[in-house]
A and B are shown apart, each in its own frame.
Chain A
Amino acid sequence: MLLFIAWRNIWRNPVRSLLTIAALGGGVVMVILYAAFLEGMTRQMVQYATEISTGQMQLHRQSFVDDQDLYATLPWHYIERIERRLPEVVAAPRLYAAGLASAGDNSSGVMIKAIDPLRERRVTKMLDHLRSGEARFDAVSSNEGVERRYNVVIGTQMARNMHLNIGDELVLITQAADGSIGNALFRIGGVLRPVEPNFDRMGVLMSIEAYQQLMYLEEGFHELALWTQDLTALEQPQQPQQHVASLLTELHAEQPLDELGGAAMVRNWRQLTPAIADMLELSKAMVIIVGFIIVGLASLGMLNTMLMAVHERTHEFGILLSIGMSRWWLLLMVLFESLFLALISAVIGSIAGTFVARYFEQYGIDFSGSMPDGYDWGGIVFEPVMRGHFEPQHLLSSSLLMITIAMLASLIPSWRTVRMKPAEVLR
């Protein structure tokens, strides 16, 4: 009977109730949508942070991490040993060097990155992000047929700054490992879309073979990017990292590395891109905080509605108290009324939220008009399309959040019924 009265009371002032439901339901939709976008962004982030160039884990030597020490290399046989011990892991070696590039009248400092294209493709999607040309690193003969030159792939920004096109020539000058000046002519084989701001501005991607000829550095590699098929490794990278770390200890025991380069170390993507990892944690907290704010504001609607409802009905409540209804029944009646409003809002909000979130999951928000190359955040360049990711779990959590806060808000008006004095309200 109480439920029945509470239910009917909602429809006593349908406009007011519908407005309240719209506010609370709209709050739920906004929380769901907000959660979906953050989830979409964090997923994109993790994907970018790992798939594009970082991989899930990386091996380096301490001195390379600290000072970009050219000589701090890891021996080539590490790759095979790691892949043999951990069959689910694939590895891509990389070498780095600083240099100067010149083409025509333009010159610019560059960051040379050498890769094994076959291995790189298994570990990251870097080479899929070509803007123009091809991801080719082979050596070709020049028109005169005198000198062989290697193809390189460079960043968009650098191509633009130095007015370089596919097929153009580029001279790279570096200090090689033996102290001599390395100097060679390269051909632009491709231009990479922006994936890392630094690479975009000054990156030159070449094959390890080309690097070794330029740099006279053959003992090993600077960096080994690892990818494990096991997808849980993304969320919990500690376990596979542990395996790799213990293998490194073994390898060091077998054949100690030189002192100067420091110890070999393995870091997971959270450690490699701390800004992203922080952002992930932050975004979880943000959903809760923003959710509280949105729902809190919407609940002011509930507070207002119920205050008005209780105020309008003081006489009626006085009558009910006089004919023997207990104050707790009255309190429950008001709370049920709020609960119904909150439940209706939760259902409507969840349904609408599902539709809206699914829409943005499919189409996203396209910024490519104003930012054709995407935007960069924490050293990672994002696609110019912001996509939501719908998690059914968000429906439940945002509904529960709303119901809880709305019910807390309705405690204030319902408490008035408990303090009501029938002799006074009936006058």
Chain B
Amino acid sequence: MPLLTLEGLGKRYRQGEVEVTALHDVNLSVEEGEFAALVGPSGSGKTTLLNIIGGLDSPSSGRVHLNGIDITALSESELSDFRLLQLGFIFQAYNLVPVLSALENVELVMVMQGRHLHERRERAEHYLQLVGLESMMHRRPAALSGGQQQRVAVARALAAGPRLVLADEPTANLDSENATALLDIMHRLSHEEKTTFIFSTHDPRVMERAERIITLRDGVVEGDERIEQHRHGQ
């Protein structure tokens, strides 16, 4: 059974008199461990799709099954717990709590999960090490570069032990060197941790790192192809 299935997913926004169709009849399935890119021009519906998968927004029609659960049927607080335990989120920028150090940011989700101090400290340090920030764990976000902040966000997402990580244009604010470096880290960890990643981008160099490219245009899935990749870090 696939990890994620989308059936006939549609989303319409009402903007005054006009109705905008952000997504139209999206059908997809994603297997466990995939490293998939969601590509398409600005306004094609990438953010809308990721938000619906993550339970931050609700579809106008269709179903989302994740790990066998129909998340469109969950209540607000069930969704919150579901995000806490099953999902990781990485956004374009300002992912971190400014008043907490990198280490504390990574620990925060695990505090909410109710993990013990010892375990969460160990895991947080471990994942910060995996993204290459062991020497900067005690810095606050303001003392980190944009690329380093995004790496902390990756560490935070993975330390929580999610089934699926959703990343909405995680490299949009980075230069290409940092962008490809971040993608390499995500790709490597996806395999090491056997964690499924779906990330959106419209940067061709970032797309190259993906193993599957789903193309959206005007809210419709226009293309879906698998690419044979050589595995990073293996």
Contacts and interface: CB of A to CB of B under 8 A. Distances in A.
Given A324-B112, A423-B57, A426-B56, A5 B83 contact: no
A426 B93 CA distance: 10
Contact of A323 (B47, B76, B77, B109): B109
B87 interface: yes
B interface, size bucket? 20 to 34
A327 interface: yes
Contacts of A1: 107-108, 111
Contact of A426 (B91, B96, B97, B100): B91
B170 interface: no
Q: Is the interface of B mostly helix, strand, loop or mixed?
A: helix
Q: Is the interface of A mostly helix, strand, loop or mixed?
A: helix
A322 B83 contact: yes
Interface string A279-292: 00000000000000
Given A426-B56, A427-B47, A323 B89 contact: yes
Nearest to B84: A324
Interface string B61-97: 0000000000000001100111111011101001111
B51 A423 contact: yes
A8 B99 contact: yes
Contact of A326 (B80, B96, B98): B80
Contacts of A324: 80-85, 87, 109, 112-113, 160
A18 to B, nearest CB: 17
Contacts of A329: 112
Contacts of B85: 324
B94 A315 contact: yes
Interface string A1-31: 1000100110110000000000000000000
A325 interface: yes
Interface residues of A, number: 22
B54 interface: yes
A378 interface: no
Given A323-B89, A327-B80, A422 B99 contact: no
Contacts of B77: 326
A319 interface: yes
A150 to B, nearest CB: 85
Nearest to A10: B99
A257 interface: no
A336 to B, nearest CB: 13
A422 B109 contact: no
Interface string A312-324: 0001100111111
Contacts of A315: 94
B192 to A, nearest CB: 21
Nearest to A315: B94
Given A1-B111, A9-B99, A12-B99, A323 B83 contact: yes
A323 B84 CA distance: 6
Interface of A: 1, 5, 8-9, 11-12, 315-316, 319-327, 329, 422-423, 426-427
8 contacts: A8-B100, A322-B56, A323-B108, A323-B156, A324-B82, A324-B84, A325-B112, A427-B47
Given A315-B94, A320-B97, 10 more contacts: A1-B108, A11-B99, A322-B54, A322-B91, A324-B112, A325-B84, A326-B77, A329-B112, A422-B56, A423-B51
